[in-house]
Structure 1
Amino acid sequence: MQHFSSKLLTGVAFAIALSTAPAAMAETPKNQLVIGTSLAQVLSVDPQQGTEAKTQEILAATYDRLVYSDDADGNTVKPQLAERWEVDEKGVTFHLRDAKFASGNPVTANDVVFSLTRLLKLNQSASQYLKSAGYTADNIETLAKAVDEKTFRIELTDRVIAEDLIYRLAMGVSSVVDSVEVQKHVANNDYGNEWLRTNTAGSGPFVLRRWVPNETVILEANKAYWGKAPTMTRVIMRHVPESQTARLMLERGDIDIANALSAPDVKSFMTNTKFKIEQIKIGGFFVLAMNAGKEPLSKPEVREAIAYGIDYKGIADTILGPYGRQRNVPVPEDWKGAIANPDYSLQPEKAKEMLAKAGYPDGFSLTLKTIAQAPRVDIATALQANLAQIGIKVEIKQGNGADIVASHRARDFDLLLPQATAIMPNALGAMNDFVTNPDNRLEAKNAGNFVWRSGWDIPELNDLRNKANSERDEAKRAEMIKQLQEMFIAQKPAVLPMFESFTPIVLNAGVQGYATNLWSLNRLENVTKTDAK
C-alpha cells in the first residue's frame, strides 16, 4: 500500500505486522477484490455531485482527472489524462494523452471544459472547491477553453495561485466525464444528473455495473481503459456497517479489506500474521458542528464553554484509538505552518462559569445528530455524558447518511458530527472548510459550504482566506496562514475540530497495491492478491 511521504506528513501511515491466524479461512476469487465498508453516505455517483469518502473511492476507480496527487511521493502532482502542462503568470495549459472513455468515445479538451462547466452550473456542494478559488457558473466558460482537441487551457482568477488550482483539478469533483454520452441523458436541463447519479461515464480502469444503495457496489474492469489493464476483473464493495460482522467476515475470508471497523475490532488483528493494519492520515477532522443561527449557540461564550466541556483525551484513548487524536486547530499538528493547540480540555467548572456569564447558569437542552456508524455514535455518547457535567442535556438522534447530510445542509440541527477533509495537502487546504463562508444569508442557499451549514458568519476570516489563497509571496502567505489559525480560535468556532481523523484499514496480508489517497481517491488498477503467509 502507498503511504503519505514523510516529507510532508511525518509518520503518516504505518503497517503493523500481525501473529495468530484463525483456524480456517475461505478465499475470495484471486481476480476479485472484495471490500467490506459502509456505503451509508453513498448518495450519488455523479462526480460533480458526490463528495463523501466512499463515493470518492468509486469515482477514483471509474473516472480520471487531468492530474493526480501522488501520496507516496510527497503529494507530488503527476500526469493522468494530461501528459504534461505549462504554468505561466495567467494560467495553466494542459496537453492531453490519447485516451478513450468506456463508451469508446475519445477524451478531448471539450470534455474537460464540459466537466468543469457542468460542476459549476450544477451548483451542488461539490462545486465549492472551485468556487472558493474564484470560479463561478458565470465565468467558467470564459476562463476554461479547449485550444484544440488535445489542449485545454484554464486562466487563473485573482483568488488562486497555480499550485492550488492544480491540486483542485486533482480532486474527485474535477473528474472528466464523457460529454457525448452524458448529453444523451440530459432531462429537464439537469446536465445528465439524474442518469449520472446511478451510472458512470468515465475513462478510469473500471466501470460501474451495479449499485444497490446500502447493499453493494460492483465495478468491472474497463476493456477500453487507456492504461495497464487492471489485475482485478471485478471489485465488490459490500455494505457492512456492523463492525463485528465485518471483523468476522474478514477472518473467514469473505472480504479482503475492512475499512469501517471500530477501534477495538481493528486492534483485534494486531497479533494475526494473516492480516496487516494500515493507519492513514487524511488531513481531516472529526468536527462538532454547532448551529450558530440558533440560540444559545449563537453566543461565542456558549461555544467556548462547550469546547471546555469535552474530555478529548478520554475520547481519543477509549473510543478513537487508531481513528484519531485531539486537535482543535484545523491544520494537522505535523503539517508545515500549524500552530500549537489551545488549552481545550475537560474543565467543567470553567465551562459552567462561562455558561453563567452568557446567561445560562442552569444550562439548557440540545439535540445532537450523527450518522449511525463507528466511531461517530460512540463519540456522540461520550459528548452527551461530558456536556451533562456542565449542565447541557443532549439528546442523540441517529440516522442514515442521507438523513444526516440533508439535515446538515438544511441547517436543521443544534449539534451535528460531520467530518471535514483537506482540499489540498497543505495548511491552507486543511483550513479551507473551516474559514470559508462568503455569504451567510439563508437565502444564499450555499449548502456546499461547511461553515454556512452552521450559520457562522465569518467575514474577516473569509477575507483573509481569500488574500492568503491568492498571495504569491511565500513568506507573506505563511504569515497569513498563521494569522488565520489564531483568528479561528479567537472567534470561538461554531465548527469545532475535535480530533484529527485517521483511516485505519485492515487488509488480508496477501493484498498488495491498494493505494490510499488524501481524498479517498484510491486507485485499484494495481491491486494484486497472493496467498497470505
Structure 2
Amino acid sequence: MRCFSRHMVVSIALGALALTASAASAATPKNQLVIGTSLAQVVSLDPQQGSEAKALEIMSNLYDRLVATDVDGKIIPQLAESWTVDEKGITFKLREAKFASGNPVTAADFVYSLTRLLKLNQSAASNLTRVGYSGDNVEQLVKAVDEHTLRIDLTDKVTSELLLYRLAGVVASAVDSVEVKKHVENDDYGNQWLRTNSAGSGPFTLNRWSPNEMVIMDANPNYVAGPPKMRRVIVRHVPESQVERLMLNRGDLDIASALTAADLKTFEGNKGYVIQRVPTGGFYVLAMNAANKYLSNPKVREAIAYGIDYAGIEKTIMGPYGRVRTVPVPENYEYAIKSPDWHLDVPKAKALLAEAGFKDGFRLTLKTIAQTPRIDLATAIQASLGEIGITLDIQQGNGSEIIAAHRSRSFDLLIPQTSAYMPNVIGSMEQFTSNPDNSLEANNAGNFVWRSGWDIPELTALTAKASMEADAEKRGALFVELQKKFIAQSPAVLPMFERFEPIVLNAAVKGYVGHPNQTTRLENVTKSDAE
C-alpha cells in the first residue's frame, strides 16, 4: 500500500506537469536560485550535529569555518585571515566579521563552537575525536588568546596538516555563542533550537526548513564579503527524477541534482543546460553488519564481493553517479592501487558460501535511503546476490530512519555513501580502516566501521602510523600496504563504486562550481538574465 501510494502521487504530479507542458516555460525569479534535489537525508541543520551530504551543502552557506578547501582540495582561508604553525599547534588570526545577528565573530565563538562539538559528542565530532580531541580535553587544547586570536594545540595523534583539513569541515563552523546560549534547554547547547534555526556568519540565513519539502535561505546583509548576488535560495525536495526533469525543462528549477542516469542523459548536448560531474573522493558502499551470524564470516563477505555484477550495474544504473572501484581510494589519487579482481563469479561465490557452511544460502534484509541512485542499486544487488543463493528483502526509508539504523547497528546490509575530507589516501580511506574501540559500550556511532561492528585493530594501528609518518616515501609505502591489507580482510564495509555527483544547471546560472566535499558556496552565483 505504501509503494502504491507513492507511485500514485508521482503519477498525479507528472500528470499535472503534463497538463501545462504546452504552456510557455516558467521562469524562476531573477534574484532567486531554485535547486531541486532529495532532502531525504537531512535530519538536522545544526552544524555540530548534521553530517549528511545535503545537510552539509545547506549548512556550508549558513556558516563559516576558520579555513575551507577549494575544489582542488587546497586549504584556503575563510574566517581565519592567516595562521602560523609550530611544532605544538596552530595560531589563527581572525578577520573582522559579524554573525547574521550583528554580533561580532570572536575567538571565543570558536572556542564555544569546538567545545560544543566535542561535548555534544555526536557523529559529527568523529573527525576530531578520532585524532585525540574530546570533551574532556578541548578546553585545554583550544583557547582564545585575545578577541581575534585563536590557538589550537595538537594532540599526539594529529599533524598540523591533518588538523587543518579537519577544521575545514562544516562541523568546525563558528556558531554565534551569544545567540545560541539564549536557546539552551536542559544543557543541550542549544541543539534543539539550532536543528531548525541558524546562527552563523555565512552568506545566507535560514528562513525556513520543512523536512522533506523545502529549505529557504535568505541573503545575509552582514556577510563579511558583502551581500550575496541572490536574494534567496530555495532548495526543493524533488526525489522523483521524472518530476525533477520536467520541472527543470519548464524552468521551475535552476539546478537539478537528483536525476537518474536516463533522465540526466536527456540534457546532454542541449545548449540550454550545463552538466557537471563532481568527484567526491567517496564511494557507494555495501555495509555488512559483522555481528550477523552470516556476515561475521570472512568467506561469506568474500562471496558477496564475488556476487555483485559491478560492470552491469555501472552500465545500466550508476552511469554518471559512479564507476566501479572496490578499493576505498579514488583511482586517480597518488599511491592508489588497482581494484581486486572482484567481479560477478557465481560458481566461485557459491563455493565460498559452501566453504563457510551455508551452501543452501540464507536470507537478509538490505536497507537503503529512498534516493537516486540507491534504490535502483539496491534492486540490482538483490538480483545479483539472488543468483548465488542469498535472498534479500529490501527496506526503503527516509534519511532519519536509515541513518538511525546504521548508527545503531540495526541492520544486516545497508547502502551508505562516503566522501573524502582530504584529497589523498588517508582522506578517503581513514573512515574504512580505523575503529579504535569496537565494543557496544563505546557507542561510537560517528565511526563508519564501528557501525558495521567490524573489529580491525591491525588496520586501525596502520592507519594511525601512516597518518603520522612525516617522510613522504615511507608514508606512500604505508598507504599501499594499508590498501592491500584492507582487501585481504574481506571488508565488512565494501566499496563498490567511486561516487560522483552529477548536476544539471540551466545555462543562465553562472558561478556555480560543485565542490567535491559538497560544500558548494552560493554567494557569487548569478543568472545571466538577472537585472
Structure 2 Cα separation of the partners of residues 23 and 328 of structure 1 = 47
Deviation of residue 530 (structure 1)? 1.3
Q: Secondary structure at the match of 2:272?
A: strand
Q: Secondary structure at the match of 1:207?
A: strand
1:34 lines up with 2:46 in the alignment: no
Residue 297 of structure 2 corresponds to: 299
Q: Which runs of 4+ in 1 moved over 6 A?
A: none
Residue 57 of structure 1 corresponds to: 57
Alpha carbons 1:423, 1:432 under 8 Å: kept: no
Structure 2 Cα separation of the partners of residues 486 and 22 of structure 1 = 57
Q: Secondary structure at the match of 1:62?
A: coil
Structure 1 Cα separation of the partners of residues 25 and 442 of structure 2 = 55
Residue 472 of structure 2 corresponds to: 474
Residue 420 of structure 1 corresponds to: 418
Deviation of residue 482 (structure 1)? 1.1
Q: Please tell me the root mean square deviation across aligned C-alpha atoms, in Å.
A: 1.2
Residue 128 of structure 1 corresponds to: 126
Deviation of residue 228 (structure 1)? 2.7
Residue 73 of structure 2 corresponds to: 75
Q: Deviations over 1:224-247 (max 9, x none)?
A: 111132110000000001000000
For 2:312, give the aligned amino acid.
G
Structure 2 Cα separation of the partners of residues 128 and 424 of structure 1 = 15
Unaligned runs of 5+ in 2: 1-20
Residue 524 of structure 2 corresponds to: 526
Structure 1 Cα separation of the partners of residues 31 and 406 of structure 2 = 40
Structure 2 Cα separation of the partners of residues 475 and 41 of structure 1 = 40
Return closer, same or farther for 1:22/1:347 CA change in 2, 3 Å cut-off: farther
Q: Deviations over 1:57-110 (max 9, x none)?
A: 111111000011011xx3221111000001111111100000000111100011
1:429 lines up with 2:427 in the alignment: yes
Residue 322 of structure 1 corresponds to: 320
Alpha carbons 2:422, 2:428 under 8 Å: kept: yes
Deviation of residue 24 (structure 1)? 4.2
Alpha carbons 1:516, 1:522 under 8 Å: kept: yes
For 2:67, give the aligned amino acid.
V
Deviation of residue 373 (structure 1)? 1.3
Alpha carbons 2:73, 2:422 under 8 Å: kept: no
Residue 161 of structure 2 corresponds to: 163
Alpha carbons 2:30, 2:529 under 8 Å: kept: no
Residue 438 of structure 1 corresponds to: 436
Deviation of residue 435 (structure 1)? 0.8
Deviation of residue 290 (structure 1)? 0.4
Residue 282 of structure 2 corresponds to: 284
Residue 219 of structure 1 corresponds to: 217
Q: Secondary structure at the match of 2:290?
A: coil
Alpha carbons 2:286, 2:493 under 8 Å: kept: yes
Alignment partner for residue 195 of structure 1, among 185, 193, 196?
193
For 2:86, give the aligned amino acid.
D
For 2:158, give the aligned amino acid.
V
Structure 1 Cα separation of the partners of residues 476 and 403 of structure 2 = 34
Q: Deviations over 1:119-148 (max 9, x none)?
A: 111011000011112111111111111111
Matches within 5 A, 1:135-154: 135-154=133-152
Structure 1 Cα separation of the partners of residues 123 and 473 of structure 2 = 32
Structure 2 Cα separation of the partners of residues 378 and 24 of structure 1 = 34
Structure 2 Cα separation of the partners of residues 345 and 76 of structure 1 = 35
Deviation of residue 40 (structure 1)? 0.7
Q: Secondary structure at the match of 2:376?
A: helix
Matches within 5 A, 1:359-370: 359-370=357-368
Alpha carbons 1:68, 1:77 under 8 Å: kept: yes
Deviation of residue 515 (structure 1)? 2.7
Structure 2 Cα separation of the partners of residues 123 and 334 of structure 1 = 34
Structure 2 Cα separation of the partners of residues 111 and 531 of structure 1 = 40
Q: Deviations over 1:427-446 (max 9, x none)?
A: 10100110111111111111
Q: Secondary structure at the match of 1:378?
A: helix
Alignment partner for residue 345 of structure 2, among 344, 347, 364?
347
Structure 1 Cα separation of the partners of residues 245 and 63 of structure 2 = 30
Deviation of residue 451 (structure 1)? 0.5
Q: Secondary structure at the match of 1:493?
A: coil
Q: Secondary structure at the match of 2:205?
A: strand
Identity across aligned pairs (percent)? 64
Alpha carbons 1:324, 1:501 under 8 Å: kept: yes
Structure 1 Cα separation of the partners of residues 502 and 523 of structure 2 = 21
Structure 2 Cα separation of the partners of residues 528 and 522 of structure 1 = 14
Q: Deviations over 1:291-337 (max 9, x none)?
A: 00111100000000000000000000000000010000000000111
Q: Secondary structure at the match of 1:241?
A: coil
Q: Deviations over 1:240-266 (max 9, x none)?
A: 010000000000000100001111011
Q: Deviations over 1:186-212 (max 9, x none)?
A: 110101100100011000010000010
Q: Secondary structure at the match of 1:272?
A: coil
Structure 2 Cα separation of the partners of residues 499 and 84 of structure 1 = 38
**TM-score, normalised relative to structure 2:** 0.95
Matches within 5 A, 1:457-496: 457-496=455-494
Q: Secondary structure at the match of 2:171?
A: helix
Alpha carbons 1:408, 1:453 under 8 Å: kept: yes
Alpha carbons 2:276, 2:514 under 8 Å: kept: no
Structure 2 Cα separation of the partners of residues 266 and 458 of structure 1 = 40
1:454 lines up with 2:452 in the alignment: yes
Q: Secondary structure at the match of 1:486?
A: helix
Alpha carbons 1:38, 1:260 under 8 Å: kept: yes
Alpha carbons 1:425, 1:518 under 8 Å: kept: no
Q: How many residues align?
A: 510
Residue 6 of structure 1 corresponds to: none
Deviation of residue 23 (structure 1)? 8.7
Alpha carbons 2:65, 2:78 under 8 Å: kept: yes
Q: Deviations over 1:389-416 (max 9, x none)?
A: 1011111111111110011111111100
Residue 108 of structure 2 corresponds to: 110
